[in-house]
Structures are given as C-alpha cells and as structure tokens.
Structure 1
Amino acid sequence: MAPSRPAPRPAFAALLRAWRDRLSPADAGFTVTAGRRAPGLRREELAQLAGLSVDYVLRLEQGRARNPSPQVVGALARALQLSRAERDQLYRGAGLLPPRDGTVSDHVPAGIQRLTARLGDVPIGVFAADWTLVWWNAMWSALHGDPAVLPAAERNLARALFGDGAGHALMRPVRLERGRDAFEASIVADLRDAVSRYPGDTRLDRLVRELRGTSEAFARHWAARTSAAPHTGDRKTVRHPEVGDVLLDCDVLVVPGADLRVVTYTAAAGSGDADRLDLLRVTGGRTATAIP
C-alpha cells in the first residue's frame, strides 16, 4: 500500500491569500500604476520578495504544495510584513512550530521593511544577529549579485567571508579602507557577542563550529579574544564586473529591539561613483558600458 499523503493545509493557503491582498504594493517597494486592479500584492510580486517561484506560490495558495519548509514560511512572513503574532500563526498554519524565543530571529518588522522599501535608490541589506542576510532590495542584488540564487544557509556574511562555498563564490572583490584583517576581526567579534546572547541557538552554534574547523583565519580571530570593535561601517571599493570599481560608504545601522543590522551603501553626490550606482539602478547590474 502506498504511504498516505499529508492532508492539504487550507488555513495556511487562506492566510497567504488574505495577507497578500492586504499588503500595499507601495509599502513593499513597488510602483502603483493607475490601471492596477489587484488590491494588494500580485502573486509574482510576493514570489519576487520571498525569493520563490510564482508557480510554487500559486501551489501554496491552492493548497497543492503541502509541506513548506521553515525557511519558506519565514521568507513569506518577511515578504508579507507580518507581525510576530501573525508570523507565528503562519508557521502553525503550515504545521510547523514558530521560532523559539532566545534564538536568533530572522523577523524583519513591517516598519523596517516599509522604511527600507522607500530607499530603493540605495543598496540595502538587512542581517540577523548571526550575519545571515534576511532581506535585500534590487539595488543590493545589482551591486553584490542576487542572493536569491544561493541556498539559504549560504546567505551568511561570515560563511561567505571565511568559507569556500557558493556564498564565497558570489562575493565580488572588495578593497576595504580599514583592511581585510580588521573587517574579519569585527565580524568574528559580532558572532562572539551573538553567542553570548543566544547560547541555545543551533544555527549560530553550527556556524561557529563549522568555521572554527574549516577556516584558519576564523579560528585565529576566535582564539585571539581581543576587544575588536563590532562592524559599524567602512569605505569599500567594490569591483563590479559591469561598471568597474565603485567607492562607497558602507554604514551599519542597528535596529533597537529587533537585533537586526541594516547595511547601506552610498556614494557622494555628483561623483563618478554616484554615476556608477545610477547605472546599476538602470541596468540592474546586467551588461552595461562601464563609466571611466
């Protein structure tokens, strides 16, 4: 006898449709045109925000995709700008336990998403306390490459910096004003601080154990136990394959109460670097003529 298939989850599908209809496309960073008929997000817009295929979102809303992973549910909750209570309801609707308190949270409050969506001209990425990238805009993808092509576990700055997997391969060459060693030390210091605040977080523990065992540089910084400053910003020259070198101010803004870092990249107005960002805004980082 063939094994029984899990029952559809109509509550999850209904929540997904209702919350998609509720979210204003302007709050999600989309331009609203006069002829738009959809009251909220279109299905393809939700798929784009969550890093999923349109077909998979359709199957979820129709109850045909019956067992979404915690990573998928978390991505949908962020894309839909749910509150913590609503996020937990979506997890339960999928038959999953919501994230436990005392662990690193990937939840991005709706207010932070609305704020960052309105800054679409600036490359912005939002990171959890373990430096996992949990939200980014189109300009971030244009500057750094699209994180959506990576497995969720590879969207971590420390793993990209110290590892040798897909996240590392996606990283574009960067020259840092403070130097690479200081940058590495600050990321390790941030992870050490996160471990002290989230001692029971399995994802964070797995990350640290992995990097201590595979990266000599990470192990050296971890063993040093120096009072390295947290990563709060730097001036970085990003070597972009289409527009050439771009000198940018990188600033790290901490979100009080949410334990998130909002990372922004800006260039001085009127500079050649600002022109290069403008070109990335137009081309999305695809083939373009570099500005000399």
Structure 2
Amino acid sequence: MKLLKKINNNFALAEDSKGEKVIVEGRGVGFQKMPCELTDLSIISRTYYGFNSETIRLIQTVNPKILQIADQIYNEAVDQIPAELNANLPFTLADHLEFCIERMNKKIQLKMPLIYELESSYPLEKKLAERTLQRVEEQLDIRLPESEKAGIALNLINAELSVKTSNTQQEEELIDGCTRIIEAYLHHPIYRKSFNYTRFATHLQYLLRRMNQQPPQNVSYSLYQTIKERYAPICEVVSAMAVYLEASGYPIGEEEKFYLILHVQRLCDRERCAQPTV
C-alpha cells in the first residue's frame, strides 16, 4: 500500500494494491513521510472506500473526540444490527453530532416527530442512539436533548439502507408492487418523489429486511383489533398487500400488518389521498 498524503495524525490518503484511492486510519499513520510505501500494514486499523472531498474535510475539521464517539457507536452498531453498514457511517454520524452540539449552543431546537415511531419500528437503532447521547455526555460533558435520538437513529438507518445488497432489486419491486396496490384502492396516484413517500418506502424496506431475518411476531390482540376497526378501509389495502407479499415469499404476521396499517394510513393522510370505499 502506498501512502499519498496526510489528512491528519491518524488518517491518510492512500492507494491500494489495485491502484484504487482509499482513506486509511491508524494511530500515528499521518506522521509517515509521504509519499511512501507502507510495508507494515498492521498499523492500519480501518480502510475506507467510496469517499469524497467532503469526507476528507470532515476528518480535518470535526472534533477528534466526536469522531472517536462516532467510531465507537459504529463498532457497536456492527455488532448489534443484523445488516451490513456503510463503512463511512463514523464520518456522517460525527458530522451530525457536531451539528447537534452547534444547534444546542445556539439554542436552536428542532422538532423530531419520529421519536415514538422509532421506539416501535427501530428498537436497535433507538437503543444505539440513546447510547450515543450517553457517550457524548460522558466524554464531552455535553447533554444533548432527548429529541436528538431520532436524528441519530435515522443516521444509522440510512447507513443500512445505503448499502447495496443482493436483495435490493427484489425489495424495490415489492415496494413498487405494494405502492400500486395502494394506488388501486385509493384511485389516486402517489407522488413517489415526495418526502412522505420516501419515508413510507424506507419503512417498508426495513420491514421486508426484518421479516427476512426473523419470523413474524404477534402484537396485542386487543390493540390490533382496535387499529383494524379504527382504520378499516386501510386494513383492506394492507390485506391485499399481505397476499401479494406472502406470494413473493414474505409471510406477514400481525405485527407487520399492524405497522403497515399505521404507515399506509400516515402516507394517505400526508399526501391527502382519498380513502378507499369499501
């Protein structure tokens, strides 16, 4: 491996054996006289591909302690989340944390409406977000608002969804099929480039991956019945989606139906779509 240019004391721009540009991380790697051939690869702790100039800027400007916290959370996420993660997550998470601290110092508060949704749909990411707030307080003596859990958790979720997997094409086809079912029942087209639809598609993709990794579970019978009665027309939509997904190899349990009802109802409300007549 050839070291090309120092980024900071612990990061450097390098070239691997195939001639591809990479960022390497290692304690004191930036002290090497560059350019040079690095023969002792044991000093490299991690290698980053697919970076850009913004990544280099982050490494050079972000508080090293924040980057260290982000790296710690990344390592915990790798161990706990049953999905491949984008290796550049430490940089994007560090940038987000620095922005959180900057907002807090300027007394700028943002509403995070996803907090309660994350508690039910993304328990692992929510737990790691709580751990992140704890580490920031312990290592930086800064207490971020609890509402920041949502933004941190979304960084983790985005790191999962940005990784291309062998199932991505099938997932996209299933999401498209489910969307067509919703449109057919509503007699109303859904604008697929809207933020609301993107959120819905993200939730559906997460459900598909979770269903592929663990068997369907059941929610409280009384709670499920209450939701079915309250959103009866949407229940018909979800039932059709369930038949379609099961035929594609994704058996749906009551838990998945429960959350799908909520997500479809929210999509219709936000897009101001007419509910189907049943």
| TM-score category (smaller protein) | under 0.3
TM-score (norm 1): 0.27
Q: Report the structure, 1 or 2, having the larger strand content.
A: 1
Q: TM-score, structure 2 length as denominator?
A: 0.28
Higher helix proportion: 2
Higher relative contact order (CA 8 A, sep 6+): 1
